[in-house]
Each structure stands twice: as C-alpha cells, then as structure tokens.
Amino acid sequence: MSTFVRRIPEGDNRERNVCADCGHIAYENPKVVVGSVVVAGEQVLMCRRAIEPRRGFWTLPAGYLELGETLEEGAAREAAEEANAEIELDGILGVFSIARIGQVQVIFRGRFKDHTAPRFGAGPESLEVALFSWDRIPWQEIAFPSVHWALNAWRRQGMSTLGAPAGNPADDRRGVHPMIPPRSLGAEDGL
C-alpha cells in the first residue's frame, strides 16, 4: 500500500495528498452532480431513493457526471437510470454550490420525449417514481436541500423561456447547511 503525506507540491499553494513513495499527487476535486426537473403538464417527476444517503426520501433524477459526458448527456442518463424515463432538456434551471461536501450541481429543466404519454418507472436506485403536482410534492420527505432549491426554481420559471439560472438561496449562499430548514418546508415557504 502506498503512503500519502500532506504536502504543498512545488508551484502549488495548498496541501495535497502526495504519495511518499512516488510523489504522485492525489488531487481531491469537487464533483459535478447533474439532474433535471422533468415536467409533464403541471407535474414534476420525482424518485424515492432506494440507496443511502437518505434512503426512502424523495429526490430528482440526478447523479454524478461521468468522464466523457456532457452535462446534458449526464442529466438524460440519470433520468434513464433512476426513472426509466426518456427525456429532452431545454435549459439550465439552477447552478448550485454545496461547499460542505464539495459538490457543484447543474439542474436542467426537461420533459418526456413522448409528450403524449409520459413513461417512467423505478430504476435500481429508486424505490418508486411518481409525478407530483406542486401541492402534492412530499415536502416532509425531501432528500436534500438542493432538491428544494431546484423545485423552487421550477416554480418561479414555470414553463416560460428560461432566464438566468437560480443559484444558492440567500440563507445558504455556500451550501453548508446539511438539513433542510423547517421554514422552507411545505407550501408556506413564500412561493
């Protein structure tokens, strides 16, 4: 096994994990999460998580971008994997920073490729997948704060032409609150 030591590599300005044997620098980088708010009429597609963290809670089809993918390809793949849904994207709803866990999230607005008959189902990482109108969204069982942020961005934009993407909300500019603040739960959050 190689041993890593914390050291500032030459030409750098912060400590990295450097292999004591070979000098290999193991950079740890933020990760990109891509996902989508898939809209069918007045409803939005959500997935109940079959995996940790937050098993049993509701989220949007989203996950880590893979090497060699574009953001759009990643978002479409996640909808296919987690919700068995074939979708197309029309723009970016939100770009969020979750500094606490080193994530950047890019959330698109999407729709089903077949507008006339939305088809979806639970992929291996989902317990169930369903369409919800705004009032029926299971607000008490949302998996992550950023799911709220993306849903709120959809609520503000509706299906009108997309403008500037939403960013982090004013009460969590850096994405450091692990929990969803109670006052942003439910329909009483000012929307």
Under the binding rule (CB under 8 A), the answer on residue 52 touching a copy of itself is no
Longest Cα–Cα distance in the chain: 60
Provide, rounded to whole angstroms, the least separation between the CB of residue 138 and a copy of itself.
25
Under the binding rule (CB under 8 A), the answer on residue 32 touching a copy of itself is yes
Interface residue with a copy of itself among 97, 126, 146, 152 (CB under 8 A) is 97
Structure tokens at 92: 């970016």
Under the binding rule (CB under 8 A), the answer on residue 64 touching a copy of itself is yes
Interface residue with a copy of itself among 6, 10, 22, 182 (CB under 8 A) is 22
Provide, rounded to whole angstroms, the least separation between the CB of residue 45 and a copy of itself.
21
Radius of gyration (C-alpha) of the chain in whole angstroms: 19
Under the binding rule (CB under 8 A), the answer on residue 35 touching a copy of itself is no
Under the binding rule (CB under 8 A), the answer on residue 127 touching a copy of itself is no
Distance (Å, rounded) from C-alpha 93 to C-alpha 91? 6
CA geometry: angle at 86 spanning 108 and 50, to 5°? 80
The answer for 75, left when phi > 0, alpha when psi is -120 to 50, beta otherwise, is alpha
Interface residue with a copy of itself among 65, 87, 107, 151 (CB under 8 A) is 65
Q: Which of 40, 36, 60 shows the shortest CA–CA distance to 118?
A: 40
What is the DSSP-derived secondary structure letter of residue 136? Answer: G
Positions in the binding site for a copy of itself (CB under 8 A): 1-2, 11, 13-14, 21-22, 27-32, 51, 64-73, 81, 91-92, 95, 97, 99, 102, 104, 106, 124, 161-165, 168, 173-175
